[in-house]
Amino acid sequence: MSENRLFGKIPGSLGSLSYLMFLRLSGNNLFGELPSSLRNCTRMISIDLSNNRLSGLIPAWLGETMRSLLILSLRKNRFSGPIPLKICILSGLHILDLSRNNLSGSIPSCFGNMEAFKVELTDAEVAPYEGKLNVVAKGRILYYDTILYLVNSIDLSSNSLSGEIPVEITSLVKIVTLNLSKNHLTGNIPTDIGNLGWVETLDLSINQLSGPIPPSIASLDFLTHFNFSYNKLTGKIPTSTQFQTKVDPTIFQGNAALCGPPLKECVGDRTKTSDNGTNDEGETDDEDKLEKVWFFAVVGLGYLVGFWVFFGTLVIKKRWRIAYFRFIETCILELNEWSWSFLHKMLGYLTCRRNT
């Protein structure tokens, strides 16, 4: 019953539908809290209540009774309070969208225990099911139906979450979309963020994260959409194929102490020399010094030749020398005449202004 004009609270009588597996009421004008009677729907697979005006706490019984839940989307509502730890009990949950609410507190470290994001499940373990859902991925809203069971996504963006990004989240090696943007997260980006080998979308923008971007992030081969803008990140941007091909500097902007392509060049950045005496271009130190010597020698020689070609000609050619100095004299006289004329006009103008 999504995308209608339904108004009011979710009726508690829905809890009597004990065989209900899919509940999709997104895009309506529903308000109030989730009725506790829904805990009776123990066979629920998918809950999509996004784009409403639902409020209150996210109930812990979602994780206690709905052990078969695979999709939980409460996006764009007015839920407040912390993320319940009981959510981590849902071992099969592979789409969690709590974005655009008023959630506070920290990101539960137990997220690292959610099995659906850690192992590649076989068809026998997660059989294809019928479902439809809009998922925010790669910077836009994507609609999934027949392959929805293949999507692994966590979206906690646009809330008031604080604290550090838990290190345990780096164990979610099969996650495809991770969006933690527009919160109040602090601390460093976890060093082992490169363990998220399947991630395609990684958005950590508009937080208060500090420290360097971990070098391990350069190993994320499937990363196609990422954003680290408007944090307090420092140091040099890691060198990787993804970062070098992304010429859009907006994905790093808002980090004053961040440097390297595609931003400003790092201060004091020089061509590094390896242990065998060669730099990044395969040249030895002696070759590099020899090139510098030749460069300054050629520049100096060019200066001397140009100097003597001009002034030597004036010394040798008397007729050219006389013409040159006459030209200089004429220019000086004309300049003086113009200056006196300009001064005379200004005095006349100031005299007229004073008389009037």
Mean per-residue pLDDT for 46-67? 93
Q: Which amino acid is at 129?
A: Y
Burial class (CB in 10 A: 0-12, 13-18, 19+), 132: middle
Residue 206 pLDDT grade (very low, low, confident, very high; cuts 50, 70, 90): very high
Average pLDDT, the chain: 80
Instruction: Quickly list H helices, the chain.
Output: 61-65, 241-245, 285-316, 318-355
Q: Who contacts 137 (Cβ-Cβ below 8 Å, separation ≥6)?
A: 151, 153, 176, 177, 200, 201, 225
For residues 45 and 70, is the Cβ–Cβ distance under 8 A? yes
pLDDT of the residue at 118: 74
The rounded distance, in Å, linking the Cα atoms of 220 and 192 is 11
Mean per-residue pLDDT for 217-234? 89
CATH topology of domain 7-259: 3.80.10
Q: Is the peptide bond before 128 cis (omega within 30 degrees of 0)?
A: no
Residue 278 has pLDDT above 80, yes or no: no
Taken in order 6, 24, 22, 1, the sign of the CA dihedral is positive
Q: Which one of 157-161, 194-198, 320-324 scores highest in mean pLDDT? A: 157-161
For residues 73 and 51, is the Cβ–Cβ distance under 8 A? no
Q: Who contacts 33 (Cβ-Cβ below 8 Å, separation ≥6)?
A: 9, 54, 55, 56, 57
Q: Who has greater pLDDT, 293 or 71?
A: 71
Mean per-residue pLDDT for 52-62? 94
Taken in order 313, 315, 320, 324, the sign of the CA dihedral is positive
Task: Specify the pairing of strand 133-137 against strand 140-144.
Answer: antiparallel
Concatenating the DSSP letter of every residue in 194-244 gives GG-TT-SEEE--SS--EEPPPGGGGG-TT--EEE--SSEEEEEPPP-HHHH
Q: Who contacts 63 (Cβ-Cβ below 8 Å, separation ≥6)?
A: 84, 85, 86, 87, 88, 89, 90
The rounded distance, in Å, linking the Cα atoms of 311 and 328 is 15
pLDDT of the residue at 308: 62
Q: Who contacts 86 (Cβ-Cβ below 8 Å, separation ≥6)?
A: 60, 61, 62, 63, 64
* pLDDT, tens digit (0-9, with 9 covering 90-100), for 113-142: 888 887 655 444 455 555 666 676 666 666
pLDDT of the residue at 185: 96
Full-model pTM: 0.70
Among 17-21, 75-79, 112-116, 267-271, where is mean pLDDT lowest? Answer: 267-271
Q: Who has greater pLDDT, 249 or 70?
A: 70
Q: Who has greater pLDDT, 239 or 322?
A: 239
Residue 101 pLDDT grade (very low, low, confident, very high; cuts 50, 70, 90): very high
Q: Structural domain boundaries of the chain?
A: 7-259, 295-355
Mean per-residue pLDDT for 176-198? 93
Mean per-residue pLDDT for 89-101? 91
pLDDT of the residue at 123: 45
Return the SS3 of 57.
strand
If you search the block for the tokens 């003086």, which residue do you land on? 336
Count of other CB atoms within 10 angstroms of residue 175 = 25
Q: Who has greater pLDDT, 315 or 175?
A: 175
Buried b (16+ CB within 10 A) or exposed e, 236-273: bbbebebbeebeeeebbbebeebbbbbeeeeeeeeeee
pLDDT of the residue at 59: 94
Q: Residue 211 region, left (φ>0) first, then alpha (ψ -120 to 50), else beta? A: left
pLDDT of the residue at 282: 47
Q: Who has greater pLDDT, 85 or 304?
A: 85
Q: Who contacts 228 (Cβ-Cβ below 8 Å, separation ≥6)?
A: 204, 205, 209, 213, 251, 252, 255
